Chain A
Amino acid sequence: MAIKDYIRERFFPHLWCSGCGHGMVLNALLRAIEALDIHKSDIVMVSGIGCSSRISGYVDFHTMHTIHGRALAFATGVKMSRPELNLIVPMGDGDALAIGGNHFIHTARRNIDMTAIIMNNRIYGMTGGQYSPLSGFGTMATTAPYSNIDHDFDVVELAKAAGASFVARSTTYHVQQLTNILKAAILHKGFSAVEVLSQCPEYFGRKNKMGTPADMLEYYKENTTTIGSKKKQENPDLLERGIFVQNDIPEYCSEYDKIIEQAKKTSGGKTK
């Protein structure tokens, strides 16, 4: 299927600012799905609230645009009742890790089969540039006019600690790598967390003097490297990209099927 066929053209133009990274994530995601040749009726996309979450409106899958921070909980209900469907859950950094932080760690812990994409622009884009739990110490935001004193999470470490069975990171500069990672994440049976550094030139960029959208992409290029590279050894400050965790551990829906089998046996077919 051509990329175009995965899109709801009638709902374009999209609402993202020019130069926004979120459209690039959409691009990489659709290329991954196209390469995997998954039928669009076999994909459910559940999103929360934020610029990033608007992605669900533009794709011709089964789409659910829910409430701020809770997309993973809605997705859990869908997946548990229709385990054969592919669940993709794009979220903003605030969506996934501030208001939705609890759902994030618990969904990871359960290892339910779905692909969470954290579109990390280090800011609350939709509400106009307030700091997020990913902004980081020393950054500027509309609610950190003097400088942010909140420390940030490392999404990869957090997902690992929470028990996610697939953990990866890439950026909107590295679309090829991102596409490959998303392919692996979708194929992975279990909870996949993919962090994508995605630029918000409108707020994070402007507030932190990051230059043009192209400059921000350049920043991702200069400040990241593949996992375990020589560059990383030379410069430990570089952020690593790639697949950090890919474990085969029991998946929640499959385990629940075993519970059903067991319960049916112990009740001897009697359900009263």
Chain B
Amino acid sequence: MINNIKFIQGNEACVEGALYAGLDFFAGYPITPSTEIAEMMSIRLPQIGGKFLQMEDEIASMCAIIGASLTGHKVLTATSGPGFSLKQEALGYAIMAEIPCVIVNVQRGGPSTGNPTHVSQGDVNQSRWGTHGDHAIIVLTASNHQDVFAITVEAFNMAETYRTPVILLFDEVVGHMRERLVIPEKGDIPLVQRLKTAIKRDVDYHPYLPREDGRLPMSDFGEDHRYNVTGLFHDMWGFPTDNPQVVHGLLRHLVDKINNNVHQIARLKEYFLEDATTILISYGSSARSALHLGSALHLAKERRTRGERLGLIELQTLWPFPYGIIRQKCENARFIVVVEMNMGQMLHEIKLAVNNPEKVFLANRIDGELITPDDIKKIIRLIQGKGV
């Protein structure tokens, strides 16, 4: 039992989660603050007969995991800002060819080389729209190691369920901070395995013909069925086509399979929402500070009766954004304060989601330092017109 309790970095918690989910192929290129993931994988994967590759760059890493996934493996790559930028074209290929894979971006300050060893949450919109063309994407995050572990397992499950890349958007503080992780027993978190076709060898198989529920059973590349995979718009055989009907149908399929399942994909945590008049919305390491503040005020009961009723929504699914859920949860709030370490990237979506966007305010920090509970408290006082 004691073996299952660890005191480790968030990046290591991610590795543990990936291995628990059944990962057996990793390719990457070193970059702060994600490098520990590659280092750990290089030790752990060969121990279980899995493969670790350090490629010549992040583009090659992304391409290699796509190739490996197609042959039937659960795959991961990990990077940070500049490397995430490099992966975008191949990420789009995985979206188009519907190849399950998980990409970790441990965010650092940007643009460009930015602030490699400091925290930021500046890649929220890049993770949504980084690759070109219309598409949908799943982006998940977490604020503590137990959740990093669980959400990493979820990322692999969703990648298989929806046949899509899933992005894990962590940040430097969560990645490098050390805290306790209890690794769940096998079976405690259900795992989604790849949906494989039942069609026999040498019988005509249509790799891109969705079932009625929209899912596409796969055939391990290199095994029973010979088929084509391409990043061009393609028909049910995987052959390039520009037939307008097929192009339209494929794009709708790629977007709908994710956006129509917002409720299945949405993960969020709520604290003290019942009677909250001010709701904080946050995610990743900034949600830790928001939670710290919320808990402190909650414990100070007399202040709560004086009207400082603070609640918190911690987002774990950033994309597809759960507009309906946020609208409903914020209905009775007088103030909604979005706590994030960027210039207001989630702020925009939350304004779109709620009935009264003028009630939505930003509490942020963009200097590479973690936003503190005190920072948030001061900003709330300003918003509430109480002075600093």
Seen from chain A, the residues whose Cβ lies within 8 Å of a Cβ on chain B are: 11, 40-41, 44, 46, 56-57, 60-67, 70, 73-82, 85, 102-103, 106, 256, 259-260, 262-264, 266-267, 271-272
B221 at interface by CB-CB < 8 Å? yes
26 pairs of residues in contact across A and B, judged by CB atoms under 8 Å: A11-B239, A41-B223, A44-B222, A56-B228, A57-B240, A64-B229, A65-B230, A70-B59, A70-B60, A73-B60, A75-B67, A76-B53, A76-B55, A76-B64, A77-B63, A77-B65, A78-B222, A81-B51, A81-B71, A82-B71, A102-B56, A259-B46, A260-B49, A263-B46, A264-B49, A271-B44
Bound Cα distance from A74 to B3, whole angstroms: 37
The reply on B369 being an interface residue by CB < 8 A is no
* Interfacial residues of chain B within 29-51, with CB under 8 A of chain A in the complex: 43-44, 46-49, 51
A residues near B222, Cβ cutoff 8 Å:
44, 62, 78, 82, 85
Are A65 and B67 neighbours in the complex by a CB distance under 8 Å? no
B246 partner residues in chain A, CB cutoff 8 A: none
B96 to chain A, nearest CB (A): 10
Closest B residue to A78 by CB, please name it. Answer: B67
Contacts of B56 in A (CB 8 A): 102-103, 106
Q: How far is the CA of A239 from the CA of B156 in the complex (A)?
A: 52
Q: Which residues of B contact A264 (CB under 8 A)?
A: 46-47, 49
With a cutoff of 8 Å between Cβ atoms, the chain B residues found around residue A259 in the complex are 46
Chain A facing B: main interface SS: helix
B68 touches A77 (CB 8 A): yes
A62-B222, A102-B56 given; A80·B68 CB < 8 A = yes
Are A80's CB and B60's CB within 8 A? no
Tell me if A271 and B47 are in contact (CB < 8 A): yes
Q: Which residues of the other chain, B, contact A60 by a CB distance below 8 angstroms?
A: 226
Q: What residues on A are CB-neighbors of B271 within 8 Å? A: none
In the complex, which range does the number of interface residues on chain B fall in? 35 or more
Q: A80, A102, A106 — which one has the most chain B CB atoms within 10 A of its CB?
A: A80
Cβ-based interface call for B374 (8 A): no
Interface string of B84-113 (1 = CB under 8 A from A): 000001100100000000000000000000
Q: Which residues of B contact A44 (CB under 8 A)?
A: 221-222
Q: How far apart are the CA atoms of A209 and B93 in the complex, in Å?
A: 38
Question: Do the beta carbons of B53 and A67 come within 8 Å of each other?
Answer: no
Q: Which residue of B lies closest to A60 (CB)?
A: B226
Assess whether A57 is in contact with B46, with CB atoms less than 8 Å apart: no
The reply to whether A65 and B64 contact each other, CB–CB distance below 8 Å, is no
B274 sits at the interface (CB 8 A)? no
A77-B65, A78-B70 known; 13 new pairs, CB 8 Å cut-off, are A44-B221, A44-B222, A46-B67, A57-B240, A61-B226, A62-B222, A63-B229, A65-B230, A66-B63, A67-B63, A76-B60, A271-B48, A272-B3
Question: What separation, in Å, do the CA atoms of A76 and B57 have in the docked complex?
Answer: 13
